[in-house]
């Protein structure tokens, strides 16, 4: 049991704040435990500690009673190595959902490059490469990305890096990073656009916008992703797969960042 990963807010506070942790109001600690669903998540992790990879994701989908309507399944290519890119509206069900859909189709030969906290769960280690841009791991980031793209696995990415935001009533990703363009050209991988239909709560988007308005560097909204995960329980999501875009498309007529925007527009055109 000691090897089973679990969430412990008290331990996290003690590690981060040291002796100052005792001054954190208990009502605040209790609130944090509630919004991240500490007890419920730990129970799920304990009950599924013997499951790994796709089996773990199947248990997750059963637990949350999520299902998918897949459109354009015929667009999934068969021969070669590919980069799959998608919008990132949720934070859990979208990542794990695409992992299940693509993982089953390609016999588990996929690797996700993601930075969500959920992806640090050991049971997902065979499918996901947690990419943190801060801390010790950041020093190995270029090597990790290069190794993934040079492997025989298909690569799945959320190029925005964080969940979608709501602006003027429209839910859409922020700017897509150019990495998937640069690396796909270098390794001659065609790019497959995917649109995932879904949204978080109004509260989440208001909080994210307030976070930005106040200029707070820490992503407060990220703390609520576990709560959003539970709010998206019992839902069916539509996933639309577009036609592969040949890597030769991304030539010198545009900068990589402009090509990334081009692909993002294609993704939202699938909606």
* pTM to 2 decimal places: 0.90
Q: What is the pLDDT of residues 32-49, one digit of tens each?
A: 999 999 999 999 999 999
Q: Count other Cβ atoms within 10 Å, centred on residue 35.
A: 14
Domains of the chain (ranges, CATH numbers):
1-47 (no CATH), 52-269 (3.40.1130.10)
Under DSSP, is residue 8 helix (H, G, I), strand (E, B) or coil?
A: coil
DSSP state of 245: B
pLDDT at 2: 41
95-140 pLDDT per residue, tens: 999 999 999 999 999 999 876 555 567 888 888 876 655 444 556 6
| pLDDT(4) > 60 | no
Q: Could you give the percent of the chain with pLDDT greater than 90?
A: 69
H/E stretch holding 103 reads: helix 93-105
């Amino acid at each position: 049991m000691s090897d089973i990963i679990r969430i412990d807010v008290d331990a996290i506070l003690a590690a981060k704040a040291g002796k100052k942790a005792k001054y954190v109001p208990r009502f605040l600690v209790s609130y944090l435990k509630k919004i991240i669903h500490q007890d419920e998540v730990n129970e799920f992790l304990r009950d599924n500690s013997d499951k790994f990879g796709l089996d773990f994701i199947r248990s997750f989908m059963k637990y949350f009673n999520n299902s998918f309507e897949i459109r354009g399944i015929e667009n999934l290519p068969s021969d070669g190595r590919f980069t799959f890119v998608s919008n990132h509206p949720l934070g859990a069900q979208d990542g794990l959902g695409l992992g299940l859909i693509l993982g089953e189709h390609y016999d588990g030969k996929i690797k996700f490059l993601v930075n969500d906290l959920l992806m640090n769960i050991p049971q997902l280690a065979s499918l996901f490469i947690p990419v943190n841009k801060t801390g010790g791991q950041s020093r190995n980031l270029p090597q990790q990305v290069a190794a993934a793209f040079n492997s025989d696995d298909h690569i799945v990415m959320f190029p925005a890096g964080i969940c979608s935001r709501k602006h003027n009533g429209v839910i859409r990703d922020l700017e897509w990073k150019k990495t998937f363009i640069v690396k796909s050209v270098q390794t001659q991988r065609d790019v497959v656009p995917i649109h995932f239909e879904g949204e978080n709560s109004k509260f989440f988007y208001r909080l994210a916008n307030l976070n930005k308005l106040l200029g707070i560097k820490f992503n407060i909204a990220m703390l609520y992703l576990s709560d959003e995960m539970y709010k998206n329980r019992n839902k069916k999501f539509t996933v639309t797969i577009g036609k592969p875009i040949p890597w030769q498309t991304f030539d010198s007529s545009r900068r990589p960042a402009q090509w990334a925007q081009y692909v993002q527009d294609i993704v939202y055109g699938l909606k």
